[in-house]
Chain A
Amino acid sequence: MASDSPWPRPADAPAAEDLSRCVHCGLCVNSCPTYAITGLEAESPRGRIHLMKAVAEGRIPLTATVQSHWELCLQCRACEAVCPSGVPYGRLMEKTRAQLDAAPPSGAQSRQMRRFLLRNVVARPRVLAAILAPVRWLANSAVRTAAVRSGILHLIPPLARGERMLPNRVGAPLRRGGDVPQPAAPRGEAILFTGCVMGELFGDVHRATARVLARAGIRTENAPLQVCCGALSAHDGDLEFARRLARQNIDALEGSEAPIVVNSAGCGAAMKEYGELLDGDRAYAERARAFSARVRDATEYVAGLGVETPAAFTGRVAYQDPCHLAHAQRIREQPRQLLRSTGCELVETNGADMCCGAAGIYSLVQPTMSAALRERKADQFRAARPDVVVTANPGCQLQYQAAVREAGIEARVMHVMELLDEAQARAETERQD
């Protein structure tokens, strides 16, 4: 690679063709959450792309200021979904982030630390389980309930903030290879992707998904050798590690035609893009494309089965699009269709498809912007008064739990699969009665 490239890692630099696609028409700016909050061009997609171009053309160096504008990006890809010119923004930002670990530090935060955690904790099932065990304990503990009831938290704001970020009750984990509910008479088979944090904190969602599949006659395989999808690393610009995880998953799940069903929108989006991620890898490119073609979001898969399982649910349900479902996978209709099929009252809140601020590890590394976006959701919930807030991604689910508490309303927060499972179970008992 030419050493005169302005980028520290030329092999993974944003492509000139991708950058030149942006005609700065501005049609994306008002879809951008960070622009909605700040009103600053540099915190808009058009501005961020302009800065990438300026660095690529050698007009400006990779200063801390430039980096901070890129770091504040949620990688929600709302801009990409509305861009008429087809600018592949997600890819551009991943490649831009890939430059930053080799760039002079921005001083904003320790990228090394982040990378270490993503590589050595999140992607290692046993370490992750050990780290999350106390979180589960704390979330479910009587101490927490007592503290909340007593009102003592209001006296200690940092504790109150911490409590708000804790998940609601956490069910038993469902890790790779674990047992899942199966149909009595299978008519098809799917592989359930269990993921990293998802399997630790959202075992309930996995079990609900498997039950929904079972009622439709689909046998669920929980492959023992699958690993973290690598989305968090890819978004962080650690493409090398993301590629390693992608290859491991391909090795673990290929050799079958069965669809790979994913109930975490972020993981699904990343896995649908393995083909692109491993494009330059001669041994894996073809296999990666074949793998990606098998990946289905759980809502996409279940809606596509065309099996009408009776379902009954009453109440006001506010569906909030996960960014990586609506914008990256362009799936908006299927989750709504599944929810409507339960007979619930589906309410559309303003900005349902605008990022909630969870965005992977974003809520940890950019807490201020994340909180500002969460508050917007809380305002919407306060106005719409839903009984249930529904989404389809683990990070969003945690963020909505916090937003609901912040809004001061009584609402459950569920995954589409959980609501569907509960609605189907209810219909079953009603029939038996």
Chain B
Amino acid sequence: MPTRRELIRELTAAVGAANVLWRPEDLLVYEFDGTIERQAPHAVVFPAGAEETAAVIRACNRLGIPITPRGAGTGLSGGAIPTRRGVIIATARMRRILEIDPVNRLAVVEPGLPNLQLSEAAAAHGLFYAPDPSSQRACTIGGNVAENAGGPHCLALGVTQNHVIGLEVVTAAGEVTWLGNRVPDAFGYDLRGAFVGSEGTLGIATKVVVRLLPLPASVVTLLGIFDTVEQASHTVSAIIAAGMIPAAMEMMDRLTIEAAEAGLQCGYPPDAGAVLLVELDGLPGPVETQAARARAECFENGAREVRVAQDAHERELLWKGRKGAIGALGRIAPNYYILDGVVPRSKLVEVMARVSAIAESYGLPCANVFHAGDGNLHPLILFDERQPGMPAKVLAAGAEIMRACVDAGGSLSGEHGIGFEKRDFMPWLYSETDIAHMEQLRGVFGNSGDFNPCKLLPTGTGCGEMAHQEAALRAAGPDAYV
């Protein structure tokens, strides 16, 4: 192991002194992401481009120092937490849009670019970038690639995997290479596909070629207001059974509605049991017909009211509530633990009841946000991490909820990834052989265990040191950042 001084010297040689952080106070703000885990790195570096990134990776490999890539730190599975400390490679100096090609409808961007800024820039050409995580104001394209992020508008259009054509990557071994390129559907092994969703365990994307889509000619957004989550869930099934594929179909329960309305004044009725946000887009004629049909299905299934956004402003307001809903829960409790389960749509109501029962048995309040169209549920357990023993309790409740999803024939992650938190649950769904194969794929990219350690797979050493409870309660002493 090198001394800190040696490490800093090597990093400085790679990117210059101005782009290396090493003071404890400066490192402390990189100890978190969107989860409740905490661990500060030994250093943070900001390379500009593939060459500098490669130099940093090679230096760390030479010194045997663990590396963790980081985008905006909004991840919800602990992916950007430096579990074994070491070096964080942050993409904040790679934030440019390098090219927008309206003819071929693609863009070449750097990985640190915030998601929303891409769609804003593309709008000038009548185009947009489809994956729109609720965190899109903040999260980066690189982070989206790593987590294979989804968003409300991925129901009809597919998640990040469907919109990334090529990647310039620096592998865990420190080699610069391209996976895929500017032409979609390249032949040969789809290594681009393997990289998207690899949660920062194979290397760092330094350029991303994405597909852009033309903005729809016409959009109708409606808000169904219900007394119960059951009614809203049945509406979702009915809309899909009717053969429609709305652009988005999002559901929120009472507690979430309350928080969103209090925080964002988006016009949700605070006494509703559930709201369902349905968006239809396409050519004006068919969209109108579909909207009428969706509206009818809402009433058929017990909606007490259906509001249709009359203009862009009203539409924006309805979405503002949904996109800010998770953050708005901060008004109700200081912390939330957000889960990301997927269940068959037909089981939604049943699993929901199970989730409520589990949360109740722990005495914890639970709010719910759903990408209802995909059967992707996000129970949010609300708590205060300052209460002794609380984080452990919350994590235990979370594990039970995940188990319930899997038991219902579902899966462990819709879009937030496995990361640090759920890796121990992988054997619920994968055999030892499956996991061994995944481990081999890592080796192909040169990751022998030090590149974003303790993430995704339940393997690796030295991960136990950051016990869950301890991680959340690191507030304890100054050794946390030394």
Chain A residues within 8 Å of B, Cβ to Cβ: 20-31, 39-42, 46-47, 50-51, 54, 57, 59-60, 63, 65-66, 69, 82-87
Contacts and interface: CB of A to CB of B under 8 A. Distances in A.
A20 B30 CA distance: 18
Contacts of B475: 57, 59
B114 interface: yes
Contacts of A20: 334, 384, 386
A66 B260 CA distance: 33
A41 B327 contact: no
Q: Please give me the 5 A-B residue pairs with the lowest Cβ-Cβ distance, nearest first.
A: A85-B330, A39-B92, A84-B324, A84-B327, A20-B334
Given A30-B114, A39-B93, A85 B24 contact: no
Contact of A27 (B21, B32, B138, B384): B138
Contacts of B264: 84
A51 B25 contact: yes
Contact of A23 (B21, B73, B336): B336
Contacts of A22: 330
Contacts of A31: 137
B326 A25 contact: yes
Given A26-B73, A59-B480, A65-B23, A54 B137 contact: no
B135 A25 contact: yes
Given A20-B384, A60-B478, A65-B26, A82 B137 contact: yes
Interface string B401-440: 0000000000000000000000000000000000000000
A28 B114 CA distance: 12
B178 interface: no
19 contacts: A22-B330, A23-B336, A25-B327, A25-B330, A26-B72, A26-B73, A26-B138, A27-B138, A29-B138, A39-B46, A40-B26, A41-B30, A51-B28, A54-B25, A60-B25, A60-B478, A65-B25, A83-B327, A86-B262
Nearest to B35: A24
A24 B32 contact: yes
Contacts of B138: 25-30
Contact of B29 (A23, A50, A82): A50
B30 A26 contact: no
Interface string B443-482: 0000000000000000000000000000000010110110
Contacts, number: 111
B331 A85 contact: yes
Given A26-B138, A41-B73, A63-B25, 10 more contacts: A20-B386, A21-B330, A26-B135, A39-B90, A39-B95, A40-B92, A50-B28, A60-B24, A65-B23, A87-B330
A84 B283 CA distance: 33
A221 B21 CA distance: 55
A23 B330 contact: yes
A46 B327 CA distance: 13
A80 to B, nearest CB: 12
Nearest to B26: A42
Most-contacted residue by chain B among A25, A28, A46 (CB, 10 A): A25
Interface string B252-292: 00000000101110000000000000000000000000000
Interface string B378-389: 000000101000
A340 B297 CA distance: 43
A59 B473 CA distance: 11
A22 B29 CA distance: 14
A278 to B, nearest CB: 25
A157 to B, nearest CB: 24
A424 to B, nearest CB: 29
Contacts of B331: 21, 85-86
B293 to A, nearest CB: 32
Contacts of B112: 39
A47 B29 contact: yes
A25 B21 CA distance: 22
A187 B327 CA distance: 47
Given A50-B29, A60-B481, A65-B26, A23 B329 contact: yes
Given A39-B93, A40-B92, A59-B475, A85 B28 contact: no
Contacts of B477: 59
B268 to A, nearest CB: 13
Interface in B105-144: 112, 114, 116-117, 135, 137-139
A65 B330 CA distance: 28
A151 B89 CA distance: 47
Nearest to A54: B28
